[in-house]
């Protein structure tokens, strides 16, 4: 028995597959935990391999390297310093498990396996892991610990079982990706488990970007009375050491850090910045290049890029055609100046004229139509990809979810690129974020304070400028109408009649549903991008391209 346990919580940005690098980060955190006199360093789910490793765990060599890394970490604890709580895949004769380990005294002191394997949305752990049995408590230095893993606390079974076995503190390593509104959902969930069991719970979440997922950290603990004991910051690494003490009412934490909880737009923006930063840095790109059109989508994309990478790693290119307005040229130049980025101008008219000459004999007798508009867009994509090939910068594509939903985007044109920070953002949210960023400089941002784009970019009617006097609403309903219909159809999977009942014109709903379905082939070829809402195209929402179903008629 003991009346005090000192824990160091490590909210670390691990890299999937970089086992040696992850081990080094764990050991560096352990050194700090030792200096703080900690008994145990706690890390997140599958911290040795990074999360989610997806089908990497099907490679025996990968699992073997993770096992060897565990042995190295275990050997480090032979010095009598802090024990380690780490996660790693573990292969037995029964199968492969998503496991958590306590390493202490030079060896593996305990192993517990994840019971509830998520198999929805972005998760498909049942493809690669076997579910573990209901776990027993772990006796650690006089304290009975419950070690459920992430999804294990989303239903009462595992925590109830551990409480019945005498668990005194629940420590939960998580790999829980960001989603708008999920912060409150997690807190409510943990409070529910604590209320059911009477056992305090530590929710330790990883932080960092992994392809389309962003892990927001924001780790916290809830005491037996339902009160949050501490909260670590969102979207940044953190290391915190706290004492837990046994009192008359059980275990509780001394007051710890109480990081500010960002507002809804700040959380979305933070996810975009971290997702892009880690995608660029972990994939070793020197920076990004993007077309700066003088429109709102490219302006907010450039602002996110500067906040993520710094202005010196963001290269903007204006790609004017005969239809580009003087206002657009001026707004792009002003935006680049506000952000402090390089801006080059590469006119696309020579390429457009060359294609017209090349295709003229084939197109003879045909009137100009969307084909000529798409040629302009693809000429821009070609120019940006050439710059990328020559200098190594990744092309940042700038399309938003409203446009991509209905196919208002050109394959190999404005869809051209390696990553998209707007992929899961409807246009109305793009407007809101742009206004927010002009009024706020997020913590940790590498971009400037103050305005990051001219006000006119936000207020002028959106246009692709691919023909004379073109406006988005020539082809689409107003964005507040379009986005409400799309949210109902995509996020809500609502029936046609229910969408109409929200106050929408039946013919408009029918047309938008049709456009949504027939654009699936384009989305299959779209760049990855930051998951923000419930239904990210390609990860959460996976519809067939060949699809004869229509609810609207």
Q: 3-state secondary structure string, 441-476?
A: CCCCCCCCCCCCCCHHHHHCCCCCCCCCCCCHHHCC
Q: What is the pLDDT of residue 473?
A: 67
Q: What is the pLDDT of residue 465?
A: 61
The reported pTM is: 0.94
Helical residues (DSSP H) of 310-369, grouped into ranges: 326-339, 349-363
Residue where the block lists tokens 């346990």 = 5
Homologous superfamily (CATH) of 268-470 is HUPs (3.40.50.620)
Q: What is the C-alpha separation between 87 and 46, in angstroms, rounded?
A: 4
Q: What is the pLDDT of residue 122?
A: 82
For the chain, residues with pLDDT lower than 70 are 1, 463-474, 552-553
Return binding residues for deamido-NAD(+). 374, 403, 522
Residues acting as catalytic residues: 45, 114, 150
543 CB burial (10 A radius; 0-12, 13-18, 19+): middle
* pLDDT digit string, tens, across residues 169-187: 999 999 999 999 898 999 9
Homologous superfamily (CATH) of 4-253 is Carbon-nitrogen hydrolase (3.60.110.10)
What distance lies between CA 7 and its chain's CA centroid?
28
Return binding residues for ATP. 291-298, 398
Return binding residues for L-glutamine. 120, 176, 182
**CATH 3.40.50.620 domain extents, the chain:** 268-470
Contact 442, 270 (CB under 8 A): yes
Helices and strands of the chain, counted as H and E runs: 16, 20
Q: What is the pLDDT of residue 538?
A: 85
Q: What is the pLDDT of residue 183?
A: 87
Q: Which helix (H) or strand (E) holds 87?
A: strand 83-92
Q: What is the C-alpha separation between 86 and 413, in angstroms, rounded?
A: 44
Q: What is the pLDDT of residue 468?
A: 65
Q: What is the pLDDT of residue 160?
A: 96
**CATH 3.60.110.10 domain extents, the chain:** 4-253
Helix axes 479-486, 427-439, angle to 10 degrees: 120
The residues, any chain, with a CB within 8 Å of residue 535's CB and separated by 6 or more, are 490, 491, 541
């Amino acid at each position: 028995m003991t009346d005090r346990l000192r824990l160091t919580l490590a909210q670390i940005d691990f890299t999937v597959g970089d086992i040696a690098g992850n081990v080094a980060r764990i050991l560096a955190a352990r050194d700090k935990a030792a200096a703080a006199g900690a008994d145990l360093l706690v890390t997140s789910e599958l911290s040795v391999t990074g999360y989610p490793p997806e089908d990497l765990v099907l490679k025996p060599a990968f699992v073997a390297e993770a096992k060897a890394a565990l042995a190295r970490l275990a050997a480090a604890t032979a010095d009598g310093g802090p024990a380690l709580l780490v996660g790693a895949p573990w292969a037995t004769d029964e199968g492969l498990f998503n496991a958590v380990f306590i390493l202490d005294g030079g060896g593996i002191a305990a192993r517990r396996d994840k019971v509830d394997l998520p198999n929805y949305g972005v998760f498909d752990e049942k493809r690669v892991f076997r579910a573990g049995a209901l776990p027993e408590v772990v006796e650690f230095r006089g304290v009975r610990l419950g070690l459920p893993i992430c999804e294990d606390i989303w239903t009462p079974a595992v925590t109830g079982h551990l409480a019945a076995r005498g668990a005194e503190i629940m420590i939960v390593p998580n790999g829980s990706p960001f989603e708008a509104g999920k912060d409150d959902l997690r807190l409510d969930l943990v409070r529910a488990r604590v209320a059911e069991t009477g056992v305090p719970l530590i929710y330790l979440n990883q932080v960092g970007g992994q392809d389309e997922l962003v892990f927001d950290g924001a780790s916290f603990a809830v005491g037996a009375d339902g009160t949050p004991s501490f909260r670590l910051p969102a979207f940044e690494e953190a290391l915190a050491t706290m004492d837990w003490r046994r009192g008359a009412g059980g275990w509780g934490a001394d007051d710890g850090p109480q990081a500010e909880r960002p507002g809804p737009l700040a959380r979305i923006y933070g996810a975009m910045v971290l997702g892009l930063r880690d995608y660029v840095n972990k994939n070793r790109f020197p920076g990004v290049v993007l077309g700066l059109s003088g429109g709102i989508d490219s302006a907010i994309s450039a602002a996110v890029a500067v906040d993520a990478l710094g202005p010196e790693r963001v290269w903007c290119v204006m790609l004017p055609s005969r239809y580009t307005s003087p206002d657009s040229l001026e707004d792009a130049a002003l935006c680049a100046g506000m952000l402090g980025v390089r801006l080059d101008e590469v006119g696309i008219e020579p390429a457009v004229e060359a294609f017209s000459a090349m295709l003229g004999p084939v197109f003879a007798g045909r009137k100009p139509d969307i084909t000529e508009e798409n040629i302009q867009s693809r000429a821009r994509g070609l120019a940006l990809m050439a710059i990328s090939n020559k200098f190594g910068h990744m092309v940042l594509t700038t399309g938003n979810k409203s446009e991509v939903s209905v196919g208002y985007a050109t394959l190999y044109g404005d869809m051209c690129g390696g990553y998209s920070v707007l992929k899961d953002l409807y246009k109305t949210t793009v407007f809101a974020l742009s206004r927010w960023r002009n009024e706020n400089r997020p913590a940790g941002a590498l971009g400037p304070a103050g305005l990051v784009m001219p006000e006119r970019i936000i207020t002028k009617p959106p246009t692709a400028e691919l023909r004379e006097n073109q406006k988005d609403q020539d082809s689409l309903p107003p964005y507040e109408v379009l986005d409400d219909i799309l949210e109902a159809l995509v996020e809500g999977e609502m029936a046609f009649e229910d969408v109409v009942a929200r106050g929408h014109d039946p013919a408009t709903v029918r047309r938008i549903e049709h456009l949504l379905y027939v654009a699936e082939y384009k989305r299959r070829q779209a760049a990855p991008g930051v998951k923000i809402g419930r239904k990210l195209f390609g990860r959460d929402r996976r519809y067939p391209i060949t699809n004869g179903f229509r609810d609207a008629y």
